[in-house]
Amino acid sequence: MFGIKGRLTLLFVVIVTLVLGVSGTYAQYSLGHELEVSSQRLRQGVLTRLQTSLPSALWDLDKAKVDNIVAAEMMPPELVSIRVYDTSVGLFSGKLRNENGSISSIENDASVPGTPVVADLAYRDSGAAGAALKPVIVGRVVVNFSRAQIDATLAAEVRRKVTEVLLLDLILVAALAWSLRIVFDPLKQLRDGLFDLATRGSDEVEELPDNRQDELGEVIRGFNAIQRKIKSNIQRIREAEDEARTSAQVTTKALADLRRTQESLLQAERLASLGGLVAGVAHEINTPVGIALTSASVLMEATEKVQASVDGGNIKKSDITRYLETAAESTRLIMNNAYRAAHLIHSFKQIAVDQVSEARRRFELRDYINEVVSSLQPKLKKTRITVSIACPPDIMLDSYPGALAQVITNLTLNCVDHAFGPDDEGRIVIGVAQQGDWIEMQVTDNGKGIAPDMLDKVFDPFVTTRRGQGGTGLGLNIVFNLMAKQFGGSVTVSSVLGQGASFVLRMPCVTPVDETALHADARLHA
């Protein structure tokens, strides 16, 4: 590829050559036209003179005169030959120009080079009375003209023009080569400076000499100013990068601390939920255990009285009948309350173990939801809220029951705490539908509903409407994280203010295996 300098030189040479070529072509055409006109005038003049002078000499058969006239006309170099023919004798006289320029006589009617021009020779004689007679053709003249002079002149002009164009092109190339150095040498310095700036490993600024006082000097000074500006920018960028790196490290540490704090808060929320469950179950168990204990005391007292009567030998039928009635009633109370306490303990044990162990197992969904709701009765019985379950039987899940209990507990208690006032009547419905390998669980209440500005934030951590009243803002965030991470499902919410809210949970019947957790567990056991 040509550089700009080479292309400029070539462009100027082509332009000059074209201009000179067009000019030379026009000059060549004009010269050729002038030579043709001059040659035509020469032909006309020669023929006119011959037609004027030859007829009388030929009429008198004066050969010497004819030869002199022909020789005189042969002076121009364009004439090749002149041949005079008599009507009776044929070739009367003739002259021929030889190749060396000499003129010789033509003795025979041989072929002659050049372009022949034929003209008749007419003799006019006046009568005795001076009246003009009819012209008499006494012969003809044949003149051969040559274009050699015209062609030679045109060829010489072409050579002169070509030489002139070549000489001007050489002068132009030399002038451009010298003059363009004034521009391209500083540009080369700028180019080398740019390459050095782009590839330089250090921050040293090597400024170009700027002692020129022309436009290129201004460009060089501008380039040096740009170099200094770039160095300043690089320094600021490096300082900013160092600050950003330090900030990133601080941010990473803060994020790690935040995640640990969030995990701690989540764990604390779970333990607090479990603690509330323990307190509620303990309170619930206290009543049936107390009734059973009282019934056992009454039965023991009645037994001691009957035993004393038997020992004293004064037992009566009425005593035995009264004792049997007391024993039957006490036994019934003991059995009923012991069964109630055993049911509460069983439900609490299952829920508590699931929430603590995080174990995965197969379980029947409807029974498990009933157990979770039963464990919430200590909280629910203090309200006027009823919980109904609409779940088909025989829906089996291979999943994490403890996490599911946490989800159901948080959603139910969220409805209790936020959807209803302390004395409001309400209803919570837990509906389940199976859709192939997935289940859809819908927890719906007919409470206050969620404000539109809070609807998109309910799953964010630490978002609560009961700040300072025991609300942590983590309940629904735990639900969202468990559904997304633990179960591989999703949870959405919809609500109309004043018409309640509906939480829709979608999860697979078989929870996907967490490969990361499996690998970590394998490394732990290894």
Confidence tier at 1 by pLDDT (50, 70, 90): very low
Cα end-to-end distance, the chain, whole Å: 68
| pLDDT beyond 80 at 321 | yes
Instruction: Provide the 10 A C-beta neighbour count for residue 505.
Output: 22
pLDDT per residue over 302-311, tens digit each? 888 888 888 8
Report percent pLDDT > 70 for the chain: 80
Q: Kindly indicate the confidence band of residue 452, based on its pLDDT and cuts at 50, 70 and 90.
A: confident
State how far the Cα of 505 lies from the Cα of 391, in Å rounded to an integer. Answer: 14
The C-alpha R_g of the chain, in whole angstroms, comes to 65
What would the pLDDT profile of 183-214 be if each residue is shown by its tens digit?
777 777 777 777 776 666 555 656 667 666 66
Check residue 522 and give its pLDDT: 46
Using the predicted structure, report yes or no on whether residue 362 has a pLDDT greater than 50: yes
Residue-wise pLDDT tens digits, 148-184: 888 888 888 888 888 988 888 889 888 877 877 777 7
19: pLDDT strictly greater than 70: yes
What does the pLDDT look like over 380-403, one tens digit per residue? 888 889 999 999 998 999 998 888
Give yes or no for residue 34 having a pLDDT over 60: yes
Was domain 359-525 assigned CATH 2.60.40.10? no
Domain ranges of the chain: 207-356, 359-525
When mean pLDDT is compared over 286-295, 351-360, 437-446, the highest value belongs to 437-446
Q: What is the pLDDT of residue 472?
A: 57
Give the pTM.
0.41
Residue 426 has pLDDT above 50, yes or no: yes
Residue 127 pLDDT > 60, yes or no? Answer: no
Structure confidence at residue 275 as a pLDDT band (50, 70, 90): low
In this predicted structure, what is the pLDDT of residue 333?
80
Residue 429 has pLDDT above 90, yes or no: yes
- 63-99 confidence digits (pLDDT tens): 889 889 988 888 888 888 888 888 877 888 888 888 8
Residue 341 pLDDT level (bands cut at 50, 70, 90): confident
The pLDDT tens digits of the residues spanning 242-267 come to 889 888 888 888 888 877 776 676 66
Distance CA 205, CA 224 (A): 8
pLDDT, position 269: 59
**Burial class of residue 54, CB neighbours in 10 A (0-12, 13-18, 19+):** buried
417 or 465, which is more confident? 417
What pLDDT, on a 0 to 100 scale, did the predictor assign at position 43? 85
Cα separation of 26 and 44, whole Å?
A: 27
Q: Can you tell me whether residue 496 is helix, strand or coil?
A: coil
C-alpha 176/C-alpha 183 separation (Å) is: 11
pLDDT number for residue 439: 94
- Which residues contact residue 481 at a Cβ distance below 8 angstroms, ignoring those fewer than 6 apart? 266
> What is the pLDDT confidence band of residue 430, given thresholds at 50, 70 and 90?
very high
Alpha carbon 57 to chain centroid, angstroms:
103
